[in-house]
Amino acid sequence: MIPELGLIFLIISTVTAVLLSFIPLYASYSKNHYLFSYVKTLTALMTFTISASILCLLISFLVDDFSVAYVANHSNTQLATLYKVAAVWGSHEGSMLFWVVSIAIWGCMIVFSSRYEDQLYIGRMIAILAFVIAGFNLFMLFTSNPFARLLPNFPVEGRDLNPILQDIGLIFHPPMLFLGYVGLTVTFAAAIAALIGGKFTQQHASYLRPWVLMAWVFLTGGNAFGSWWAYNELGWGGWWFWDPVENASFIPWLVATALLHSVVLSQQRSSFKVTTLLLCLLAFSLSLLGTFLVRSGIVQSVHAFASDPTRGMSILFLLGVFVCGALTLFALKAGLIKSKSEFSLVSRDTVMLLGNIVLVVAAISVLLGTFYPLLFELLDLGTLSVGAPYFNSIFVPLTFVAVLLMGAAPLVKWQHESSNRLYPLAALFAASAVIGVLVALQTRDGFDPWVWIGATSASWIFLSLGYLVFSLRSQGAGFIAKKAAMLIAHFGVAISIIGATAVSNFETQELLRMGPGQGKVVAGYTFVYEATVDVESHSYTAIQANIRVTDSDNNDIGYITPQRQTFKTNAMEVSKAGIMRNLVRDLYVSSGQQLSDTEYLVRISHKPLACWIWIGGLMMMLGGFIAAMSGLYNLRRQQVAATKPLTTAQFAVKEPA
């Protein structure tokens, strides 16, 4: 009964979304105040029914209702309750439902919390969100029904959740990524609403900026937690592999970063408005393209959700409808958007514009590297592999340029900057380059240009931020506090660059044949394989290696216990790495296949400053969150006094007969 209720709620929400996608637009066009008054009611109904639908799916997981195909394929009576909850979004159907629920809740928050004077703009925005929800709901109902039954013959036990997904990463990574995509959906709707209205003012940009920031924060968290999850769970020892599915979430993040800085220009300078709207459309389009890549089955990856071509073609159809419609509207209406374009060549406006161009070019380069092999194979031209060498050779130099512009932007004035004030910037860059040379000379080969790029980039950010704080000291601590969000986020970028550079270029790794009583010195640490023990848990059995670690002074610093796990429900084997962490380094050990009665293949790695990658990511999220909350607070304060009900100046009220 519960699954049928969930399906009914899903159908009701679909009908409501279809109505809501037309009523505000028609009311705005016909100036019918009476119809417009239904927007809040329909939004609340849509949000309630779609939320009730996912609640029914959650209950189905909790009560082990294996007559529901989605539950039978992704749960088990032995699965921990926490993972049963996470399994709701752990695969294709549930993740799509979670995505739609998040869009509805976000839209409901906008409708009921907004005091924005231009209610017609909000109405158009909700109509576009409802249109997207209706499209995704129809997609679920016809191709990806999360409540599909296995009747009359259903299993008494489920297949269990994929062992790779039984990790805390499942609790954080997918929801954060989906919430980021939801944020991009909101910005897409805001851009379409502005284009339909034929105007995009500084007030519109002020309203849009916090939502862009929150989308960026969630996307940053989704990518950061995803790399952390892969690092911990997969046992490969890496933190980024340029996997097509990883790239699918990284590309929208790059465009969202450009959008974040573009909307600042639109808000504060009333400039680049058309660019901001275009980036809103592109960011959402790329998130849909990534969704198609993950769910179509055209790539094979441990990250991929589904491999059903029918679903892939359905998503491709939605992508075509949304993107083609949006770009057509942009082509017709962009000329109506007026922007201020008066600024000199040497100014913060120019620096930020160049930075946005570099970010978009970087996104395009990753997009080409990801899809070119797929197109090559699709055209029956053979197989082609594009790996890390391509991405590193293209992306790293572009990132270096973007970092240089990022450090320079806060130090130059809006509109026009005196050339005399550029000398301190040149001195700061020279100092950064010297630091980069000194660090690059520490590599085993004498001088590594990749290390120089990383060290110079991080030094440049630190020095430029320090100089900025020093130059602002005369304006008081309060003024510096206003810059806190930017300072924290940019400082986080530098921290992540240091971690990525250190791990990528100074890692020490050994692939060994080890058994009880054998030891090996790696990077000054002695690893002694003491024993192999059997481990039993409620969901798996494991062969665990107990490896004692001592430092260069022969002091014990602890044990590392990598495991080779075999899950009881499906006999799937998973390598679980053992990691000993601190702020300076990670000691990473993974256990491979058995080579003899007592010996196993063991990979030992010393990873300097590995945790800095994710500490930097958390700092970026914190900076973005502070900026978003500050923007919402200022917006709320400005709007309270300006709140006005809809009047006959906005509508020629037409009461029903």
Q: 537: alpha, beta or left, given left = phi > 0 and alpha = psi -120 to 50?
A: beta
Six-digit token pair at 516?
């009880």
Q: Which of 111-115, 126-130, 367-371, 413-417 has the highest mean pLDDT?
A: 126-130
Which of 424, 402, 400 is CA-nearest to residue 412?
A: 424
Residue 572 has pLDDT above 70, yes or no: yes
Give the model confidence (pLDDT) of 524-560 as tens digits: 999 999 999 999 987 889 999 999 999 988 999 999 9
Structure confidence at residue 316 as a pLDDT band (50, 70, 90): confident
Q: What is the pLDDT of residue 299?
A: 59
| 83-87, 337-341, 621-625: segment of lowest average pLDDT | 337-341
Q: What is the pLDDT of residue 642?
A: 52
Each domain of the chain, given as residue ranges in start order, spans 1-161, 167-399, 401-506, 508-608
Higher pLDDT, 141 or 480: 141
Report the percentage of the chain scoring pLDDT > 90: 58
Q: What is the pLDDT of residue 657?
A: 37
Give the model confidence (pLDDT) of 414-442 as tens digits: 766 666 667 888 999 999 999 999 999 98
Six-digit token pair at 93?
């159907």
Q: Which residue has the tokens 């890390």?
A: 388
Give the span between the Cα atoms of 397 and 409, in whole angstroms: 19
Q: Measure Cα distances from 607 to 505, 579, 592, 614 in Å.
A: 10, 10, 19, 14
The answer to whether the pTM exceeds 0.85 is yes
Q: What is the pLDDT of residue 653?
A: 40
Residue 448 has pLDDT above 70, yes or no: yes
DSSP string, 399-465: HHHHHHHHHHGGGS-SS---GGGGHHHHHHHHHHHHHHHHHHTTSTTS--HHHHHHHHHHHHHHHHH
- Cα(first)–Cα(last) distance of the chain, in Å? 42
SS3 50: helix
Residue 412 has pLDDT above 90, yes or no: no
Q: Measure Cα distances from 6 to 104, 238, 263, 445, 508 in Å.
A: 16, 41, 39, 62, 52
Give the span between the Cα atoms of 461 and 469, in whole angstroms: 12
Looking at this protein, which amino acid is placed at residue 583?
Answer: L
Q: What is the pLDDT of residue 251?
A: 95
Average pLDDT over residues 17-22: 95
CA angle in degrees (0–180, nearest 5) for 252-464-627: 45
**Is 109:186 a contact under the CB 8 Å cutoff?**
no
By CB atoms closer than 10 A (0-12, 13-18, 19+), residue 227 is buried
Structure confidence at residue 244 as a pLDDT band (50, 70, 90): confident
* Bridge partners, residue 545, by sequence: 532
Q: Kindly give, in sequence order, each residue whose CB lies less than 8 Å from that of residue 419, ignoring residues fewer than 6 positions away.
A: 346
How many C-beta atoms lie closer than 10 Å to residue 474's C-beta? 7
Average pLDDT over residues 476-493: 85
Peptide bond into 152 cis (omega under 30): yes
Which of 179, 229, 390, 385 is CA-nearest to residue 299?
A: 385
Give the model confidence (pLDDT) of 334-393 as tens digits: 988 887 766 677 788 889 999 999 999 999 999 999 888 777 776 767 677 778 888 999
Structure confidence at residue 652 as a pLDDT band (50, 70, 90): very low
CA angle in degrees (0–180, nearest 5) for 307-311-314: 150
| 171-185, 263-277, 286-300: segment of lowest average pLDDT | 286-300
**Is 276:339 a contact under the CB 8 Å cutoff?**
no
Q: What is the pLDDT of residue 417?
A: 62
Give the span between the Cα atoms of 650 and 248, in whole angstroms: 43
Q: What is the pLDDT of residue 146?
A: 95
Q: Which residue has the tokens 């997981």?
A: 61
With b meaning 16 or more CB within 10 Å and e meaning fewer, what string describes 410-424? bbbeebebeeeeeee
Residue 654 has pLDDT above 50, yes or no: no
SS3 596: coil
